[in-house]
Amino acid sequence: MMYMYKAERIIKFTEAIREATDQMLAEDKNVFQVGLGVTYKNGADGTTGGLAEKYPGRVLDVPVSEHSFTGMSVGAAIAGLRPIVHHGRIEFAFLAIDQIVTQAAKWNYMFGGGNPVPIVLRIAVGRQWGNGPQHTQSPYALFGGAPGLKVVIPSSPKMAKGLLISAVRDPNPVIYLEPRWLYQIKQHVPAHMYSEPLDKARIVRRGEKITLVAYGDGLIAALEACDILGAKAGVELIDVVSINPIDYKTIQRSVSKTGRLICVDTSPAAFSIGSEIIAAAGKASVLKEKAIGLSCPPAPCPTSTALTEKYYPTKIEIANAVLHVLRKTPIKRKLSFEELHLAPQLTVL
């Protein structure tokens, strides 16, 4: 059946988050939203605007006390409510790491089951021009090693909505890492409520020759690289989506087919998601040739555009990594200032 996209349903990543939040607040009276500035007109980067008026007493601005309001939300979840906590930058969520990793993640296990903590932590992560070492960290892998947490990274508006709905309905603590670099990305998003699985990788493009694995902001760069290369390059592009647990099955199936693997990280390579996936492929001995990891350098992300220009893997670098593996001639193209430094405003399929 042909589905005609309605123009008004082409919405931004942030609008998709807002829509999911709105629908979950309407669906379940136990759901409430807390976070700094979530009651503002353009609250939480536009993801909560207008909801405070629509749901009185359920969308709450809080003092700058990250440890305390996160802990309060964990406590409310222990008592059966379903909080959505927003941290506008992961650096501020770090102040509450005790409540996330030591309390929420362990609670059900250490009390022998039957003690769910149905909380969602929306944490904005990573790349943004002009924000430097303490406002743009990308520790995507951080929560991947904490059993008890589910961790997802949406990479498109459609995923953003479906994953958030699943996260709020899930009885476990879910870390929802939002790459702020993607906030302006647009996509057709269904108006109805739908859910995306929290533990499955997603095959974005099918191909036979090489497996390209990425997530979040790196996924968009990888998608653009695929467009540059064209379908004949045979790239199978996989969006990791879930990093706790990682869906090794889907990735392994692809790598078994292609025998070749490139992973894109938008963080330094040490202890990264890409390194973890390459290690797993090595253990499974499915590679025909050596894997490639593209990542940020082992340095904090600086502020000056003269330096950030070299920081994140670009679509050209990703495309050239594919061409290198396929023994083809690399592309020579210089990216514009806008392509390098401004958040993409693409409409994706």
Partner 1 sequence: MAVTDTSRSVDEAFSQASLLRAYEKMSLIRIAEEKIADHYLKNKIMSFVHFYIGQEAVAVGVAESLTKNDKMLGNHRSHGHYLAKGGDLKRMICELLGKKEGLGRGKSGSMHMMDRSAGFAGSTPILGSVVPLACGVAFAQKYRKEKNITAVFYGDGASEEGVVYETMNLAGLFRLPLLMVIENNLYSVNSPIQDRRAAGYDIGKIVEGFGARYVRADGLDYRDVRKKAKAFVDYLREGNGPAVVECITYRHMAHSAPIFDESCRTEDVREKREQKDAIKLLRSELLAEGVTEEKITEIEKKNVQIVEEAILFAVKAPFPDKRTLFDDVYV
- Residues involved in catalysis: 66, 135
Under rule CB under 8 A, residue 99 binds partner 1: yes
Write the DSSP string, 210-276: EEEEE-HHHHHHHHHHHHHH-GGG-EEEEE--EEETB-HHHHHHHHHHH--EEEEEEEESTT-HHHH
CB of 322 to partner 1, least distance (A): 36
Name the burial class of residue 220, with classes exposed (0-12), middle (13-18) and buried (19+) by CB atoms within 10 angstroms of its CB: buried
Under rule CB under 8 A, residue 98 binds partner 1: yes
Under rule CB under 8 A, residue 92 binds partner 1: no
What are 34's two structure tokens?
Answer: 């807390």
CB of 138 to partner 1, least distance (A): 26
Comparing CB distances to partner 1, the nearer of 7 and 79 is 79
Task: Decide the pairing of beta strands 210-214 and 261-268.
Answer: parallel
Q: Could you tell me which of 204, 211, 206 has the C-alpha nearest to residue 322?
A: 211
Q: Of the listed pieces 142-150, 248-256, 295-303, 328-336, which binds partner 1 according to CB under 8 A?
A: 142-150
Are 278 and 264 within 8 A, CB to CB?
no
Put the strands of the sheet holding 174-179 in their side by side order: 59-60, 31-35, 82-87, 120-125, 174-179, 150-152, 242-244
Comparing CB distances to partner 1, the nearer of 60 and 269 is 60
Comparing CB distances to partner 1, the nearer of 19 and 170 is 170
CB of 82 to partner 1, least distance (A): 10
Comparing CB distances to partner 1, the nearer of 51 and 77 is 77
Segment 11 to 70, residues that bind partner 1, using CB under 8 A: 32, 57, 60, 62-63, 65, 67-70
Write out the residues near partner 1 by the rule CB under 8 A. 32, 57, 60, 62-63, 65, 67-81, 98-99, 102-103, 107-116, 147-148, 150, 171-172
